[in-house]
């Protein structure tokens, strides 16, 4: 593995000095880009797009052709793991992802097996390899997965849920069944992320989208604990280079200390978190990624620049910050606003890297 | 005003000794009760039910006929204030509340006027008075309102929203317009809560359902600041009795210090908050209300009892805790499970009030 020419992301995640604050955006390849919608139409559906390495690699690279982003993130979906487990992923218009065979009965849980990524998630690994070749080692490529608990939410609910009644019923009434699912998921996520690393991912991120819907104790027991399992099974280096990892629990701002102690290199923050306070709290141990309110992208270049300035000032001098939104780019965000954000993050951050705190 | 025979709620909110931990439940009068659905069918619609003091008083009292709850909360909706401002509240099946005339143009914001509750919200005040008469001073009656920001979300969005793009666009691009709305709302909420107190409410609660969707700085500036305005305009006593207040920001667990310093008597906690840690953090200044995961009501009496025990143990010895869910009762909750919860909270809490911490 050769280090990318622009290694600011990797350095920032390891809290090493950088000339400016690197930036990438969750869901940077997505519906706000006309060329993405065009590729998706060509593929026929979102899932077909995910499963076609040529097209998935194409959309992965689209935002990098427009904006001076400091990383690519492989275009895929967090639910490809349960799909590879045989649950039958499909998408319905307006309702999001669904599973044909959600986990309801005990025998279904007992029969659950982690998929072999080389066999069952080949299309993602091919996309990773293809993106790496196309990137020409310009910027690093991020691989990702859903967290064991977040995957379990969809696997038990059978799709998106407002209240997570099914998975919570299992959590409170049949915790041993949920633990069984989470153990399988943790093994599957580790193997999947390691395979992405072997095929070219230079950093990895775990998306814990729904951990923040848990009571604090349940979060530790059913989400964070299995993120720790994943991390302990993860390759920390490949080809002589460190492969940093990022853990993002949406709504996890109250639990920063525990998340930072999970063994991760960086913690992703949603926009409700005070970035300056978070750095004072855990910034000696981990890098921080985030955390602009995604709604800011709907305003104007001047407002975007001002809000980006506040985020950079909140983190302050020195390395260890990766600029990002606190959640994904909205389909309603104008691409020129994304351009303004990337430019602002780069331009305004230089002063924070020139010297130590005054 | 005469003190109710069961004054445990009022005493707990003021951190005075009680023989056990009082309990009431957000949305305790609601769709999980067959007699509620029957009354709603008689009224013809949810709004007609809210606007009919006879029926609204009837459903307010329904849960108290079934369960040994320590308080009633007036049956109403948080959106009656913007409705009284002329925005035209209506409900659509499956999509929740909508406004016919949301605030979009500057002139609409400039023309916004706080309603006179005695004139425009008479039906709520009549309900309050009627419930008080029917309660025969057995338990206290809680009045409530949405927070200024939460009301503004609906007023600007025109209804429920997943992403709050319209109100956030205003917040970031035209903050002075949003401040204008929030000032009007704060005056309206104070006047409305004071009118409820004058007509018989013995405690009041401010529901800040959407403050937790704001970035931390924006929460202080656009939500908490106006909750403070409301509190500073609130009657603190009536008829010689203290009228305690409760502030509940859903998703506000990160901001407990600031919320506790707002001037409120009690802070409502959602189920993501560690109640024991919250007490150590702010329990010297305010009472705490909450915070069982509402999904626990879907399990079984045995699980409900065990989870209630954990909540009581987390708060520990002494007064200052009001047992509640971390959010409203789900329509899917079986009434006999609610009975099990009320019994568990009462029975298991006595030991924590018998003596000081061992």
Pick the CATH number of B8-352 from 3.30.420.40, 3.90.110.10, 3.40.1710.10, 3.20.20.210: 3.20.20.210
- How close B281 gets to chain A, by Cα (Å)? 13
**Predicted ipTM > 0.85:** yes
The reply to whether omega before B291 is within 30° of 0 (cis) is yes
B280 touching chain A per CB within 8 A: no
Nearest Cα to B272, choosing from B252, B288, B287? B252
Residue A298, pLDDT > 70, answer: yes
* Contact of A234 with A166, CB cutoff 8 Å: no
Residue B356, pLDDT > 60, answer: no
CA distance B206 to B199: 18
Give percent of chain B above pLDDT 90: 95
Q: Which of B163, B216, B294 sits opposite A272 (nearest CB)?
A: B216
* Contact of A203 with A243, CB cutoff 8 Å: yes
- C-alpha to C-alpha distances, A280 to A27, A154, A286, B329, nearest whole angstrom: 28, 35, 11, 38
Nearest Cα to A182, choosing from A82, A97, A254? A82
CATH number, domain A31-66+71-235? 3.20.20.210
The tens digit of pLDDT for each residue in A264-273 reads 999 999 999 9
Q: Which of A163, A172, A218 sits opposite B299 (nearest CB)?
A: A172
Tell me what the pLDDT averaged over chain B comes to.
96
The tens digit of pLDDT for each residue in B190-208 reads 999 999 999 999 999 999 9
Would you state the pLDDT for residue A273? 98
Residue B92, pLDDT > 70, answer: yes
Would you state the pLDDT for residue A356? 53
- How close B186 gets to chain A, by Cα (Å)? 23
Average pLDDT of the residues in A204-229: 98
The tens digit of pLDDT for each residue in B257-298 reads 999 999 999 999 999 999 999 999 999 999 999 999 999 999
Task: Report the chain A residue with the minimal C-alpha distance to residue B256.
Answer: A254
Residue B355, pLDDT > 70, answer: no
Domain ranges in chain A are 9-28+268-358, 31-66+71-235
CA atoms within a 13 Å half-sphere pointing along the CA-CB vector of A3? 11
Q: What is the pLDDT confidence band of residue A104, given thresholds at 50, 70 and 90? A: confident
CA distance B114 to B230: 13
Report the SS3 class of residue B23: strand
Residue A119, pLDDT > 60, answer: yes
Strands B72-73 and A266-268: unpaired
Query: What residues contact A218, with CB distance under 8 A and at least 6 apart?
Result: A171, B293
CA distance B63 to B36: 9
Top residue of B210, B254, B331 to mutate, by most chain A CBs within 10 Å, is B254
Q: Is A154 a catalytic residue?
A: yes
Would you state the pLDDT for residue B225? 98
């Amino acid at each position: 593995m050769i280090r990318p020419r622009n290694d600011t992301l990797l350095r920032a995640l390891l809290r090493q000095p950088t000339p400016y604050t690197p930036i990438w955006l969750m869901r940077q390849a997505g519906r706000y880009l006309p060329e993405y919608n065009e590729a998706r139409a060509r593929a026929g559906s979102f899932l077909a797009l995910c499963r076609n390495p040529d097209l998935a690699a194409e959309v992965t690279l689209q935002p990098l052709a427009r904006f001076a982003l400091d990383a690519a993130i492989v275009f895929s979906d967090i639910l490809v793991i349960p799909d590879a487990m045989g649950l039958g992923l499909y998408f319905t218009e307006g309702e999001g992802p669904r599973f044909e065979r959600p986990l309801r009965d005990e025998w279904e849980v007992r029969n659950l097996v982690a998929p072999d990524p080389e066999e069952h998630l080949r299309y993602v690994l091919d996309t990773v390899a293809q993106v790496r070749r196309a990137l020409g080692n310009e910027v690093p490529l991020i691989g990702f997965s859903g967290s064991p608990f977040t995957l379990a939410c969809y696997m038990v609910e059978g799709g998106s849920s407002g209240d997570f009644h099914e998975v919570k019923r299992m959590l409170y009434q049949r915790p041993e069944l949920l633990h069984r699912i989470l153990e399988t998921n943790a093994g599957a996520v580790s193997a999947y992320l390691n395979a992405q690393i072997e095929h070219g991912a230079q950093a990895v991120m775990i998306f814990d989208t729904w951990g923040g819907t848990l009571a604090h104790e349940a979060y530790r027991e059913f989400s964070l604990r299995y993120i720790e399992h994943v991390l302990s099974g993860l390759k920390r280096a490949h080809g002589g280079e460190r492969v940093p990892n990022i853990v993002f629990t949406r709504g996890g701002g109250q639990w920063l200390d525990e998340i930072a102690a999970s063994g991760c290199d960086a913690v992703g923050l949603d926009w409700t978190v005070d970035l300056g306070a978070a750095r004072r709290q855990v910034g000696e141990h981990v890098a921080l990624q985030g955390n602009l309110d995604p709604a800011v992208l709907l305003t104007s270049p001047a407002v975007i620049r001002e809000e980006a300035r506040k985020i950079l000032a909140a983190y302050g001098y020195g390395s260890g910050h990766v600029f990002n939104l606190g959640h994904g780019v909205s389909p309603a965000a104008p691409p020129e606003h994304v351009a303004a954000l990337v430019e602002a993050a780069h331009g305004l951050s230089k002063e924070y890297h020139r010297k130590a705190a005054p």
